[in-house]
Structure 1
């Protein structure tokens, strides 16, 4: 796989991620100031379910002290930087446009990978050369050699173009790896990979270090991002030393793989937050 040369183009201005802010009801002036501050510092919508409750919440990424009525204690979310979608080349449609039947992401794939949260330590192994990751580094996530070989051949047969990736470890020991795989068309990413390799019951291959992986039925439907299909798995007990969570997303011609691992228990809130934010960058 080699990087194709592209004709220089004039980029469009960067597109900010949508921020869903409900219309405030009449309130005293000090509440309005707090709401304005919240909007000013918002970066992206994070939808998640509070552990042990069935209600899903949508809330913009901001300092908790900026949100009227919320306690200052951490709820487990990570502090991600301000997120904006990368610019498109002038005249190029987005992946969901009717004029783009192939579902192509014309933006730089490397700019579509979610950045690490503040305070996390980067995994430099996933940087690759000029931002492009060798296929074998990605395939090393798969436990069995036979499965790695099968996946590698599938990538060759169906025209993998590039892999962009990023990884980090947070202070609590949670390891996150995100891989974006770009193909020629949306039908290849969905029909030949997502639907075949990541069905509801469980992935077709075992990620290294995992044991019994099942569908994560606790992931809130309210966290769905338009234009992005999602399959999410959790590792059931009994587990090994680490707890692993997995998400596989497809948006247009890109298949995204999101993996999180932590000794003891991998917390649900930062995993859901990471999946939703990566989905928003792709959608």
Structure 2
């Protein structure tokens, strides 16, 4: 089908303005009906616009989780309190600063421990205070506890601070901070005694656990001078019963252990715990 031939430029005619009624004249009855109808539609439009604006304002002022269909489901993270770094003794630099590139932590080690999340039940023996080398070594199988205690002494351990808690789902968590005399000593203890500085699994075996493997789902939250090594119990097709993590930050080594008998431990809160403890040591 061919298009019709153009007949040349078409003239553009100006719109013809309506002629208002003259003096003493009134609009015809039909015109009055049109005007009344237009007036009613203007009123309806104004009401609709007002309702729409009010609804939009109401939506913007509501919290997201109060809107039907807009609530975001939890991804499994625990509700930790807001973190803050402790004050340093007067005249001491922050770890990994220009004046402290060896990563010496001058703050109270207990203040660098990750707090327990909301809803947790505190371990009465690990309350965020100092603990002993024997208590830390008890996390591992009996045959290796003596070697761990010797390693702590040989590499110049200064302090251990620890906190433990249990979540409502039964997940047990324990976090230990071990401070040594230097970054080299902390690294050597982690590498030589625990065998947890990389590789497929730590050489020191956790008590009441099976074989471990590297946690490949962990992509790290470390700065260039903090090293994280996370492991998960080998599970085949079943739940992961235990997880362990080692964070080397200068003169301090953080050891994170999570266990759950029924249902296994979840990756998200374990990675969250490691990332937050990492931040407190950085």
TM-score by length of 2: 0.71
1:37-76 deviations in whole A, cap 9, x for unaligned? 9xxxxxxxxxxxxxxxxxxxxxxxxx9749xx97332211
- For residue 101 of structure 1, report the CA deviation from its aligned partner: 4.3
- For residue 127 of structure 1, report the CA deviation from its aligned partner: 3.0
State whether residues 219 and 272 of structure 1, in contact with CA within 8 Å, keep that contact through their aligned partners in structure 2.
yes
State whether residues 161 and 184 of structure 1, in contact with CA within 8 Å, keep that contact through their aligned partners in structure 2.
yes
- For residue 224 of structure 1, report the CA deviation from its aligned partner: 2.9
Distance (Å, rounded) in 2 between the aligned partners of 1:269 and 1:254? 24
State whether residues 152 and 189 of structure 2, in contact with CA within 8 Å, keep that contact through their aligned partners in structure 1.
no
- For residue 225 of structure 1, report the CA deviation from its aligned partner: 3.9
Distance (Å, rounded) in 2 between the aligned partners of 1:64 and 1:236? 39
Aligned residues: 220
Give secondary structure in 1 for the equivalent of 2:274. Answer: helix
- For residue 164 of structure 1, report the CA deviation from its aligned partner: 0.2
The yes-or-no answer on 1:104 pairing with 2:104 is yes
Give secondary structure in 1 for the equivalent of 2:97. Answer: coil
Distance (Å, rounded) in 2 between the aligned partners of 1:245 and 1:268? 9
State whether residues 232 and 240 of structure 2, in contact with CA within 8 Å, keep that contact through their aligned partners in structure 1.
no
Instruction: Identify the structure with bigger relative contact order (alpha carbons < 8 Å, sequence gap 6+).
Output: 1
TM-score by length of 1: 0.71
Residue 92 of structure 1 corresponds to: 92
The yes-or-no answer on 1:176 pairing with 2:173 is yes
Residue 253 of structure 1 corresponds to: 251
- For residue 188 of structure 1, report the CA deviation from its aligned partner: 0.8
Residue 52 of structure 1 corresponds to: none
Give secondary structure in 1 for the equivalent of 2:150. Answer: helix
Distance (Å, rounded) in 2 between the aligned partners of 1:279 and 1:218? 17
- For residue 272 of structure 1, report the CA deviation from its aligned partner: 0.6
Distance (Å, rounded) in 2 between the aligned partners of 1:109 and 1:116? 16
Output aligned runs, 1:97-176, within 5 Å.
Answer: 97-127=97-127, 131-145=129-143, 147-176=144-173
The yes-or-no answer on 1:195 pairing with 2:191 is yes
Larger C-alpha radius of gyration, 1 or 2? 2
Distance (Å, rounded) in 2 between the aligned partners of 1:220 and 1:76? 18
Distance (Å, rounded) in 1 between the aligned partners of 2:264 and 2:99? 45
Q: Which runs of 5+ in 1 are unaligned?
A: 1-28, 38-62
- For residue 102 of structure 1, report the CA deviation from its aligned partner: 3.6
State whether residues 177 and 254 of structure 2, in contact with CA within 8 Å, keep that contact through their aligned partners in structure 1.
yes
- For residue 169 of structure 1, report the CA deviation from its aligned partner: 0.3
Residue 280 of structure 1 corresponds to: 279
Distance (Å, rounded) in 1 between the aligned partners of 2:230 and 2:70? 29
RMSD (Å), alpha carbons: 2.7
State whether residues 162 and 177 of structure 2, in contact with CA within 8 Å, keep that contact through their aligned partners in structure 1.
yes
